[in-house]
Structure formats: structure tokens, C-alpha cells
Structure 1
Amino acid sequence: MTPPRPILEIALPVPLRRVFDYLPPDDLDTHKAGILAAGTRIKVPFGNRQMVGILLRSKTQSLLPADKLRSALSILDKQPVLDSQQLKLLQWAASYYHHPYGEALHTALPALLCKTRSPKPKTTNHWQLSLHGKGLPEQALKRSPRQSAALDFIRSHPGLSTRQISDAGISEHAIRALYQKKLIEPLPTFSEDLTTDIDNRLTGAETAVTAEPGLKANKEQQLAIDAITGARGFECFLLDGITGSGKTEVYLQVIESVLKQGRQALVLVPEIGLTPQTLARFSARFNRRACSYHSGLTDRQRLQVWQAAATQEADIIIGTRSAVFLPLKNPGILIVDEEHDTSFKQQDNFRYSARDLAVVRGQLENIPIVLGSATPSLETLQNALDGRYKHIRLLQRAGRASPPAFELIDTRTAPLEQGFSAKLLTNIRNQLEAGQQVLVFLNRRGYAPALICGNCHWVATCPHCDTRLTVHRKQNLLRCHHCDFRQTLMTACPSCHNPKPDFVGMGIQRSEDFLQQHFPDFPTLRIDRDSIRKESDWEQLNSTIASGQPMILLGTQMLAKGHHYADVTLVAIVDADQGFFSADFRSAERMAQLITQVSGRAGRTGKPGKVLIQTRYHTHPLLKTLTTESYHQLARSLLQERRLLDLPPFTYQAIFRAEAKKAGQAEQWLANVKKQLQQTSPAIKLIGPLPCIAEKRAGFYRYELTLWCRSRKALHAGLDKCFLYLEEEKTVNRCRWHIDIDPYFS
């Protein structure tokens, strides 16, 4: 009797919270179909399209009748692209963030693996001795010493590529000659064209893990290293060290211990800009292959790094948010550097937190995880205070460095020239003339934040958003930083034809012009998203800064993300008041983190550092606490406020956001959602629907409904009921909407 054909349960990248049943491909026999592994890609028909789905399991029954099931088209993999641990992680993530499972799975995959045509890999030859070569007498190549040397080298280092062997001084001509004589044979692999992304050092079993000795750890660092390397299985550590305390050296020595066990390390960083310097430091330290994974790579390079991580061709992977999903053949440690950074939270589509998923992954893989920061998020700090995370403090700067001195400049009484007080300019000049570098921080892109007519009070606004257009004078543009609408910078007011509308406010480009005019003998390097677009831009910038020449580094918050500039002795914060009047309850925390992180760039290598902060609110408790006490003192005060007000991390939050082309539609849709939640989930507190900050964006009217609950379980149970209601709702939905769990912005 012929056994029944199995049914394949497949997740597809569609915005539906369900999976789909298919029959196996017609040309696949029943036995092979029944033993297909979960995580395998399968091409299937979907409507009038073809899609790539991920097999979840084979089963014997479906809720659909057999004649309604369609057959899959083809099996794309011999081995699954997602292993069981990745599937568990993504299943948990899709459930927790209430996101369609199929879309979550495809978010984790490199783009080339999501296409219906399997990518043709660029293969390179990795060489090993053939049977003939292994049996060759020693004197057989005595008349060809270069070929003999090449054969000996490949015998000692099997599996290296042509480029690696050439880097060791062996000519490609000798390699070709050995191949023609059938003394060596190739092994195909996916590692072509990784160039700077994988540091292909000559590694063998006999090679030492480290290429250069590490720094001698101080007492605090050694205690941290011992605690982390002593973990047996999962344990979450908060490595809470002041700026310049040597957290990276702790990471390096912990990773060294992991590499000696033959295991892999995954390091998450918040920005692409941190990957070049981190990769360079790790590559210089270890005789192991390191690679980076981020959005700046091509699709093919991302696939190659994925393969390198999965096969342990790469031992150390340094990546941004999406690297949390990389397959690791033999994971040993997860590290999240600058864990407080908001870049770890995806702000569109699948809105996951890479930091939180890293903790979950550590539990699933049963390995330790390190969350590092000089300014821990209040959620992470509370977890440490509650004993869920092991709290490790580094309170001393590494080496001979001392914490910088702070000084507040009251701009209510100090006259300003283009936003700079005389005292600030004098301090900048003194440091430059002493041969030092100065970091000037202004967190505002563009030339000026507004173009306003002083005659009729006309303001240049975006036609698609409730926001002003920002002046980008060098590009001769007015630009919206929300929808990216652009128009040519006008020379006269379109309302009253005034020939000289005013540039109002200070943007970083305007400050750049002023500083170049004021300090013509010293270069001013502007560092923002308009000037730094590629990884190579960061590499060139870091090379210029590392020269040690006196210069001004003028930057936005990109400069506050863990960069190490050895010769910066003065940090100037031009306007510290931007975060005082935000509607977001997290604004004080974010502002404190930003000021502390920027200030920490000063005086990191033994040179005395100084921080000057311009403000109209020099008596504000936040600034007083930060400059006279510490971030931690302020953080504990903020936690007390949050506890009294029932705010996270003492309650749990989610936000429904909806947008529609017509005013009122999004608000009405959210009102229906609110009514349903009130009926089924009385434990959830609801606020709204309210207009989002900047109600209109990119032509859509936006509203939000905020949910609060003291019980995480009750919050998610209420959301589950709500999604059942939304799936059954028969009314036409003219809105685009999403749910944001544990939002970073309110």
C-alpha cells in the first residue's frame, strides 16, 4: 500500500498571521518529502506569483481538503538555511512582537536567499593535496623548487584559497602547475570576494589564537573577565563601565577564551561606522578570521558572510542589528556593545529589538551574553538591580586617563556669535594651538532648521508633512528629513517676494562654515549622515583623525557611539537644551546618555580632558547631576520617577499606530480597536487615539493608541484577543497600521 503524501507546512513572507499547507513537488517521492528538514527553502505558487517559503514541518493532515492543496514547485536546499535554534528564536520573536511568522523568517535571511532563483555562488578554489600528491616522493620536484615549496605549503595548510596561498609568497604559476600535474585538487567554497569583510589569516590547528599580546588588565577588568569566562551556560552580564574604562579590552580577552575553545563570537554594534575600527582592532589582535555584517555590504557579500558564519569559516562576526539572526555553527559568546543605543530597535516592518533578541538567543544557545555600556538603558539597569543580570562595574578609566572636567556656560548672559560663546571659541583656539583635537557636538543636520521670511512671516514647510523644510545650503536644497521631499532653495519669499528670507537657527553645515572662517589654519571635519554615507568614508575619516594633527571634529550623534579618538582633549556641546521639552517620557534618559557619551570622547589617553556645555538652563537638575555626580545617580532618580508614575520598566507598553490618506480614518480605526480592548482586556490602560507628533507625514495622517499594563502576560494576552478580532473584522480597512512592542519612542 502506497503511504499517503506528507503535507508541508510552510511560512511565507506575506502580512498574514498564519502558515500555509502544500503538497510536496510532484517530482519528489513520498519518502524524501517526509524527511525534509525544517528550515529548508521551498519554492511555491501563491496566487499568480511564485514565492520562497520556509518549511516548518511535515505532517499527515491539513484542515483543507486534499483537492484544495497546491503542490510546491521545487526544493531549493540540500541542507536547511535556518537551523533549529534560529527557528526557535524567530518563532519566539514573531510571537512576542506580534508579527507574521513568514515575514519574520525572511527578515532574518540574506536577500539572495529570498529569491525564487537560487544564487549562483562565485566560487574560488581552496586547495588540498590529491591522492597522487600525498604519495609523491620527496625528490620528485627537485628540479622545480617553487612547485616543491608550494606543495609543502599546501600540505601544511590544506583548505586555503589561491589568494591566501599567494599572500604567503607562493606564485599562482606554481599552483597552476601543481594542479595540471594533478598533485593538488580544489574544494569549492563560498568565500570569494569577501576582501576586507573576512580577514583570511593563515590559520591551522597549530596557530596561536592571538597575533599580538593584549593589554594587562587592571583589577576591575580582570574581575570582569574572570566572571564572564567563568560562566557555565547562559548568564547575562551588564558590563557597566564609565567611558574610557576599557570595556573593549574586556571583550577581547573574553573572546580570546572563547576562541581557544574552538567556538565563535558574535559582537553587535549600533552603527555601521563602528564596524571598521572594531573589525580592525579584532583582526589585529587575533589569528582568526573576522568579518563584518551590515547593510553597507552588497547582497552577495551578506550571503557570503552568512555562509562563513554558518560553516565557522568566520570565527568572529561584528555586525549591526540584523546580525543577531546570523547562523553560528559553534556559538560561544554574544556581546552587545552600547546596549542602550536606540539603533538596536528596528523602526519599521518587523519591529524587533536586537538587544533583547540577543538575550533570548543566549538562553536558547545556553551561552553567556554581555551587554556593555557606560550609560545603560533604564530597562537593563533595572534588570541588573533586580538580579536578573549580573552587574559588573568598571569605575576607573584605563591606563593613566582621568575623567574629564565639566563646565556649564550660561547662554542667557553670554553673547553668542553664530551659536558660539566667546568662552567656547577661546577654549577651542587654545586646544588647537596646543596641538590637540577638539570635538564640537551639534545634533542638528543641515545648514539651518528653517527658512522664514522676516517680512510676512512665511515659513518653508513640507507639502507632505507637518514639518518645516531644512536648509541644505551646500546642495542648494530645502529638504524634509521625514519624507525626503526636496526642492531647490528659493532666492526670494514666494509670498511677498522679499529677496532675502532668513536662515533661522543653527545647523551643522552652518557651524562648519563658521568654524572654518574662525579657525582657517585648522581643518574642520563634518561628521553627519550627509557627509558619511559608506563604510569607506568612515575608514578615511578615522585615518585622518588618527594622524594626530590638530583639527576640529564637528559632528552629530554619530560621534557619540563608542568611537575612540586618542587626541581629543576638549568636547564642546553647542546646545544641550534640545531634549528638555520633548513629549517622550524617555527624553531625559536619552539626553543624559547622549551628553555622557559625547563627553566621554575627551581625555581618553592620559591627556587631561575638558567638557564645555552651552545651555540656557544651567541650574537644571539633570545637568547638575550629570556634571557634578554621575549618570548612574541620575538614572536611579529617573527610575524612582518611573516607578511612581507606572512607566516602563515597571510597566509594559505597546503602541498601535495607524495612518490614512484622509483625516479621521486612522483615528476612527484606532477608536474601534480601543473599544474592543476595553471590552476584553480591562487590565490594560489605554491612552488615545491621539495624533502622532507631526500628525501628517508623507501625505498620511497618523494617530496612535498607547497600551500600558503592569503584567506583560496580560498585555500580550489582550493583544492576542485583539488580533483575532482584527482578523475577523469584515469592515473595509482604509488604514495602514502596525503594532510596536516595547517601543523606544512614544
Structure 2
Amino acid sequence: MYVVNLVFDIPLRHHYSYLSDEYLEIGQRVSAKLRNKEQIAFVNAIVEASQFRDYPVDKLQHLSQIYLDIIPKDIISLCNFAATYYHHSFGSTLFCAIPALLRKINSRTDITLPQNKHYQLTETGKTYTPRGKKQINLWHQLSLSSLSWQQIKEMLGVKPDKLINDWLSIGVICESSKPLAATITTTITANEEQLKIINTISNHLDEFHPALLYGITGSGKTEVFLQLIHKVLIKQKQALVLIPEINLTPQLAARFQARFPLAKISVLNSEVSEKERYINWLQAKNGETDIILGTRLSIFTPFARLGLIIVDEEHDASFKQNDSLRYHARDLAIYRAKTLNIPIIMASATPSLESLYNYKLGKFHLYKLTKRAVSNAILPEINIVNLAHYPVNQAGISDPALDALAKCLARKELALVFINRRGYAPILSCYDCGWISQCKNCSSRMVYHNNSNNLKCHHCGYQTRVPSACPKCHNQYLHTIGHGTQKLEEFLAHQFPNAKIRRIDRDTTNRKNDWQELHQEINQHEIDILVGTQMLAKGHDFPNLTLVVGINIDNALFSYDFRASEDMFNILTQVTGRAGRAAKPGQVILQTNYSDHPVYQFLQKHDFEGFINYTLKERKQNQLPPFTYQALIKLSSTSEKQLIRGMHELSLIQKKLNSKNITVFPPVPAVMYKLHNRYRGQMLISSKSREYLHSYLNQLEPFLAEINYLTVAIDVDPLEV
């Protein structure tokens, strides 16, 4: 008899003890009754019942059911680290990390995995005469190389089990080992810069080597990834590639599959079904998958032989989870690479200040790609249009920008008009009384969407019809203020009636295959002008794109967020980098009312290092990250009175604690005070020492549990302050 310590999907820190008749593995999946409800749990520890002293054994319940699923030890270790660092319960952390099917009490996990066998012709088979067109084609392909069950299925168009069994029984084919996944279809010669980086990192494939890869847009960072992954696959190891957005997946997955046709490449993102995610998770754990391509949650994927982690666009805020377990996938990737003693590559055209600071401290190795990979391709010319001299029209676009668009269309080249605002117009207003469309659930304005004649909140999703008259003074003449993607699309369609215009934002790309269709249309030259938000700024490679126009871009210059200028510089560098990536030269036009602002000055000169040094100096003067470490205590409630009470109680608590080497700012209402019908407050904690910060949070945690009439969360290393 054994006593097992279990973790459940609950936010409590302590664990629960149950009896088991058999010995179980750490991380094994079981079910047990908790609070009179059958729940899934995982084994955290196990001892013989005779050695258990914490509680009378005869009063312990028995486990209800034992499953075969086991969470690997390295994932348990990763979850333990994440729970400790982000001050989150271990149970909630573990359940966040695993596929949904493993969390459910009645879910089936005895799923038949896709066939992974391979087959080749025997000597007898080489003289065999197949029947039918499909069998003849299959026989011919088998004479060239071995094929997998899945490849045979695709060639026949039906399940191949009967044919495979028939051919096995008469000796036409036999099972073979899996072909080397590292086989590539084409050999691309790396340029001198790429080759130097590839060779250097190749010497560190068997050790922890944190490599920060800074490469200008279009410099061929992906080619460096592919060649290093090739070397890892040759060593019979696996690779994990983290990307920030799911819209990057189709283009990148197609490029990887074309390069490694025999590799098993799996995609993990929010569009993958629960069953598919579990299968991909299990195949990676069993060593059957060669490459996992996924978004932030993929960092918790188990691997049999992980040999390389790549974090593409490492600066991107999408790697930070902002609810539940508030982890940063890049930082967990670094921890995982270190514990597995493997290299990690963090790549970006605009590396984060935190990563660059780690390089300056000697923690990271910096590699640079300073030239565009395509021969003769150069960085685009950036022109700043001062709106004091060139007023905009009703759609927010200036005459110089319109002239450039007309010339681009005449050359039959692709143009991108970037505006960081979806919808028709940001605000619907009344001239007479000053009424403005306001969300009933959030402290934000409702955005007018022309095609549906709706007002929509882009924070909580609340929608309502446009009122026929002002709700306040009943004036029937309401007007829109500002510009959005819909208004811009409508104006450009009127201005250039023969142009094929495609709007790209979250309203037009909510179906699973929208991004595949977009890439296909662009590759077939079926689009002349793209109108889009920052969704188009990251990682996309459109060879015929030669013009980028940026409008309505000043709104981030004077934000409350100290990271706003860094974020803006990054997004504008990324979006301008879409232009001129092939042989044709690129041009960028940025409209602004503040042409002398440092962001635009550094951007126009393509001076990333100058901007970084300027920003680091500013951060150091103001004692901001990366020179300090921060945590945010977040409070929320559906009752405004309860929130105010909780903020007052938190203020009293923090005054009682030892705050040596800690700066605690008084609790204040959040900038977005009301969100999803919840009132929100926050308290910022800062320190020059990471150790002192976590020590203070450990002191604070028990007191936070006492404010149980509010939802309380700790956000370590917050990106939104």
C-alpha cells in the first residue's frame, strides 16, 4: 500500500494525500474524489503507507482510477520552476501546461496514433507488376525510396492497410527504418555572415549556448534556423521553434516542410483541435515528431530528444501570457535549454532591451546579420511626411502617400498601407452634446464598423447597433472621429477603382484558412494593395512588396507605458522591413505630426543601435527595466466598492512588511479601470535585485490570500504596467 501526494487543478498551494494499491510514477495521471467531485490529478510524490506520518492512513481515500498517461520529469521540473518564479500554484501551472484532453475526467486518451511505419520494395517486389494507375505510381515511388504509411495513404486516396497487408504477405514490400529526417530537397548557399554564425553555433550543439541573433529585416534569419535544424536532425534530435503569432504558421510550416520533406513537422497553436494537440504532444514525447512549430504554449511540449530551441521574433509581447499563469515563453525557453544543456537561438530584427542587456552582462552571445540575404536587396528608403505641411484627407492619408501608391500600382507592384486601428472609425460622437460611444463593460470607446453598422468594443467584444439618434440629446446627426482600416479600404477603393484591395485585420482573418488563402493570392499577384494592422508586420515575406505607407502612427509616442516608444520603434521597423526584400528597391512613407521625434530620426537612419543606446540611457536614469525588476499585484472585482476596500487593505498590508531594497508604489486604479465588467486596481513593486523582489512577494502572498473577496493575481516581469 502506498500514499500518493496529488496535485489538482486548483489555485491552492497545498497538495492532497490518497491511498494507492500499486506503485505509481511521479507525473502519472489519476482521478480521485475532491470535495465530493471526481477530478483529474497528477502524482507529485509517493511513499509506502508504513512510512507516512502526516495523517492517519486509515482515514485517507483510495484513488478512483489510474491512467497510463505520465507527464515527463523535465516538464514537471519546468512547471515547478514556472510556479515558483511566477508565484502561481503548482497544480494550476501543471494543468495549464498539458493538453485539454488530459485535464478532463471523461476524455479518451487511448487514441490510436497515426501510423509511423515505413515500407520499401523487396528484391521480389522490384519484379512485381502492379495493377491500376495508383498502384503503378505507388510502386514506382517505392522503387525510388521508402514511404511512410501516411504518404502511401495520400497517394492512394484511401486507407492503405489492405494493400499494405497484401503486398507484405506476398513479399512485394517489407517494413523499413524511417528515412533520415534531415534529408533536404535543396541546398541553399549561405552568405558569408550566415555561414559564420551557422558554423559557430554548430560547435555548441551539445551544450547550453544562449545565442541572440540580431538580423535586419530580410537578412535571412530563417535560413540560419533551417541549416542549424538540419544539423540537429542529422544528430537524430528534435527541434522546437516558437513563433509569436498563429498567422505566421502557414508560410513558415510550408517552408520547413519543403526543406525537410521526410521530417515529421507538427503545428501547435490555438487553431489546433484538442485531439490533434494531444496527438502532436504525444508524438513529440515519444520521439516521433522531428520539429514542433508553435506559439507560446508549445514551450511545455515534452520531447524525447530535444536538441535545439528557437524563439523567432523574441522581442514580441505575444510570448507573454497575461492571465492565469502569467509566464513569458522566451524566458521559460531559456530555462529549459539550460536544464537540458542545449543551445537556444533568440532571433529578431529588433531584440528586446532585456535581451540586449543580458548580452551586455555577458549572459548571452550576440550574432549579427547586417545585410539582406537576397543579392542586391537593400533596406528601404524611409521618407517622413510632416503633416504640418501635408494635411491628410478624410481617410487620414496625405497627397505624397497617394502619389506613391499610384506609381506603385503603375509598376504593378504590391503596396501595404499600415494603420494600427481596425474598424471604420474609432469613435462615434454627437456634435451638439459631446456624447461619445462608450462600452458598458469597459472604460473604452466603442469602435464603429461600417459593414455591419455596429459599434464594437475591441477589448471585451460587446456589440450593439448604431443608434438612430444621440442617446443623450436625441440629435439625429451623429458623426465619426478618426480613421480605421474599413474607412481606409473604402477610400482607396474609390480612389483606385481598378486596384484589387485586401483588408487584413482580426475582423477579416478569423477563419482557419484565411492566412493560407492570403498568401496564395499574394503569390499569384491577385492583390495590389494590402490595408492592415500590425498583424502584417511580423515575419511575412512578400517579394513583390515595394511600398509601405504608415498612417495614424503617432498615438503611441506619448503613452503612459514606458515601453511605448520601444514597441513603436519595433513595430515600425518590422512593418517597414516588409518593403524591398527582393531585387526591387523598397520605399516607406511615414506620416507624422512629430517629425523631429527621436523614434522617427533613428528609424529613418535604420539606426537600431543608436535607438537602443538612447533608450537604455533613458531607462537607467528613471530606474526602469532592465535596470530594475518589477511585479504587479492586480486586483479586480465586479463591485467597485469591494475593489476600493481591497486597495485600501493592500495599502495597509504593504506598510507592515519589510521592504528593504524594495520600492512599493501605492495601489491605484488600473489605466483601463473597467474591463469585461470588472473594476481593476494594481500595485507596482520594483527592486534592483531579483532576489529581493521575490523575497518580498513571498512575504506578501499569505496576506493576499486573505483578500478573498477580490480576484488577486501576481504578474512578475509585467509588460503592461
TM range (shorter): over 0.9
Whether the 8 Å contact between 2:212 and 2:367 is mirrored in structure 1 is yes
Query: What is the aligned counterpart of 1:209 among 168, 171, 182?
Result: 182
The offset of 1:243, in angstroms, is: 0.5
One-letter amino acid of the counterpart of residue 88, structure 1: S
| 2:246 aligned counterpart, secondary structure | coil
Partner of 2:360: 385
**Once the 2 structures are TM-superposed, how far is the Cα of residue 182 of structure 1 from its aligned partner?**
5.8
Give the one of 409, 418, 433 matched to 2:385.
Answer: 409
Do 1:685 and 1:709's aligned partners in 2 also have CA atoms closer than 8 Å? yes
The alpha-carbon deviation at position 632 of structure 1 amounts to 2.1
| Larger displacement relative to structure 2 (301-310 or 137-146) | 137-146
**Counterpart of 2:67?**
76
Matches within 5 A, 1:599-610: 599-610=576-587
Secondary structure of 2:556's counterpart equals coil
2:7 pairs with 1:11: yes
Following the alignment from structure 1 to structure 2, what is the Cα–Cα distance between the partners of residues 644 and 52? 50
Give the Å deviation of 1:129.
11
Equivalent residue, structure 2, for 1:267: 241
The correspondence for 2:165, drawn from 178, 189, 195, is 178
How many residues get paired?
711
Structure 1 residue corresponding to 2:74, chosen from 77, 85, 88:
85
Question: Is 2:616 aligned against 1:627?
Answer: no
**What is residue 365 of structure 1 aligned with on the other side?**
340
Question: 5 Å matches for 1:211-226?
Answer: 211-226=184-199
Match of 1:689 among 649, 654, 667: 667
Q: 1:445 to 1:152 in 2, by over 3 A?
A: closer
Matched, 1:717 2:673: no
Q: Are the aligned partners of 2:4 and 2:18 in contact in 1 as well (CA < 8 Å)?
A: yes
Give the Cα separation in 2 of the matches to 1:332 and 1:222.
20
Deviations 1:157-208 (A, max 9, x none): 88932x4224456986783483599669999xxxxxxxxxxxxxx9955557
Partner of 1:477: 454
Cα offset, 1:69, TM superposition: 2.1
Deviation at 1:723, TM superposition (A): 1.2
RMSD: 2.9
SS of the counterpart of 2:554?
coil
> How far did residue 534 of structure 1 move?
3.1
Q: CA deviation at 1:61?
A: 1.9
8 Å Cα contact 1:203-1:288 kept in structure 2: no
1:172–1:116: structure 2 CA closer, same or farther, 3 Å change rule?
Answer: closer
- Greater Cα shift, 59-68 or 468-477: 59-68
Report the equivalent of 1:227. Answer: 200
Contact 1:127-1:154 at 8 Å conserved across structures: no
- Whether 1:508 aligns to 2:482 is no
Counterpart position of 2:43 = 55
Which residue does the alignment assign to 2:325? 350
Q: Which amino acid aligns with 2:338?
A: Q
CA-CA distance at 1:630 after TM superposition: 1.2
Distance 1:98 1:209 in 2: 41
Q: Which amino acid aligns with 1:53?
A: A
Counterpart check, 1:443 vs 2:420: yes
Whole-Å separation in 2 of the counterparts to 1:687 and 1:507: 37
Shift of 1:667: 3.6
- In structure 2, what is the equivalent of residue 190 of structure 1? none
Please tell me whether the aligned partners of residues 118 and 178 of structure 2 are also in contact (alpha carbons under 8 angstroms).
no
1:165: which partner in 2? 152
Confirm or deny that 1:740 pairs with 2:718. no
After superposing the two structures, state which structure 1 stretch, 529-538 or 611-620, moved more: 529-538
Once the 2 structures are TM-superposed, how far is the Cα of residue 11 of structure 1 from its aligned partner? 1.1
TM, length-normalised to structure 2: 0.93
Within the alignment, does 1:424 sit opposite 2:401 as a pair?
yes
| Paired residues of 2:377 and 2:580 also in contact (CA < 8 A) | yes
| Kept in 1: contact 2:8–2:41 (CA 8 A) | yes
Question: 1-side partners of 2:172 and 2:62: how far apart?
Answer: 41
**Distance in structure 1 (CA, Å) of the matches to 2:101 and 2:10:** 17
Point out where structure 1 has 5 or more consecutive residues left out of the alignment: 188-201
Match of 1:276 in 2: 250
**2:291 is the counterpart of 1:291:** no
Aligned letter for 1:305? N
Letter in 1 for 2:200: A
Give the letter for the 2:505 counterpart. D
Deviates more, 1:308-317 or 1:249-258: 308-317
Distance change >3 Å, CA 158–CA 662, structure 1 → 2 = same
Letter of the aligned partner of 1:216 in structure 2? Answer: T
Structure 1 CA distance, aligned partners of 2:693 and 2:325? 19
Confirm or deny: 8 A CA contact 2:138 2:155 kept in the other structure: no
State the one-letter code of the partner of 1:51.
Q
In the alignment, is residue 46 of structure 1 matched against residue 34 of structure 2? Answer: yes
Q: Relative to 1, partners in 2 of residues 1:45 and 1:174: Cα closer, same or farther, differing over 3 Å?
A: closer
Q: In the alignment, residue 623 of structure 1 is paired with which amino acid?
A: Y
Q: Output one character per residue of 1:466-517: Cα deviation in whole Å (capped at 9) or x when no partner.
A: 2111111112211111222111112222222222200111011111111111
Q: SS in structure 1 opposite 2:674? A: strand
Q: 2:439·2:462 contact (CA, 8 Å) conserved in 1?
A: yes
Q: Is the 8 A contact 1:449 1:468 kept in 2?
A: yes
Given that 1:128 and 1:154 are in contact with CA atoms closer than 8 Å, whether structure 2 keeps it comes out as no
Q: Which amino acid aligns with 1:672?
A: E
Matched, 1:37 2:25: yes
Partner amino acid for 1:22? Y
CA distance in 1, matches of 2:143, 2:54: 58
Label 1:681 to 1:519 Cα distance change in 2 as closer, same or farther (>3 A): farther
Give the direction of change, closer, same or farther, for the CA distance of 1:499–1:313 in structure 2 (3 Å limit): same
Shift of 1:64: 2.7
1:125 CA drift (Å): 7.1
Kept in 2, the 8 Å contact 1:404–1:602? The answer is yes
Amino acid at match of 2:79: L
Q: 1:127 to 1:19 in 2, by over 3 A?
A: closer
Q: 1:611 aligns with which of 560, 565, 588?
A: 588
Secondary structure of 1:236's match?
strand
Q: Which amino acid aligns with 1:236?
A: P
Amino acid at match of 1:362: A
When residues 330 and 309 of structure 1 are mapped into structure 2, their CA distance, relative to the original with a 3 A threshold, is same
Deviations 1:30-80 (A, max 9, x none): xxx23x111111111110211111111202425233244222111111x51
Q: 1:251 aligns with which of 225, 233, 244?
A: 225
Give the partner amino acid of 1:526: R
C-alpha contact (below 8 Å) 2:117/2:178 kept by paired residues: no
Change (3 A) 1:159 1:64: farther
For the 8 Å contact 1:276–1:535, the answer to whether it is kept is no
Q: Aligned partners of 1:608, 1:148: CA distance in 2, in Å?
A: 49
Cα 1:42–1:454 change in 2 (3 A) is: same
**Offset of residue 288 of structure 1:** 1.1
Q: CA deviation at 1:412?
A: 2.0
Instruction: Work out whether 1:555 is the aligned partner of 2:546.
Output: no
Give the Å deviation of 1:616: 0.4
- CA drift of 1:289 comes to 1.4
Other structure's SS at 1:352 match:
coil
- Equivalent AA in structure 1 for residue 259 of structure 2: R
For 2:19 and 2:91, locate their aligned partners in 1 and report how far apart those are by CA, in whole Å. 18
Superposed CA offset, 1:369-391 (max 9, x none) = 00000001100111112110000
> 1:646: Cα distance to partner?
1.2
Per the alignment, in what secondary structure is the counterpart of residue 23 of structure 1? strand
Give, in whole Å, the separation in 1 of the partners of 2:57 and 2:226. Answer: 57
3-state SS of 2:618 partner: helix
Superposed displacement of residue 697, structure 1: 1.9
Asked if 2 retains the 8 angstrom alpha-carbon contact of 1:673 and 1:722, the reply is no
Q: Which residue of 2 aligns with 1:703?
A: 681
> 1:6–1:475: structure 2 CA closer, same or farther, 3 Å change rule?
same
**TM-score (norm: length of structure 1):** 0.90
Counterpart code for 2:7: A
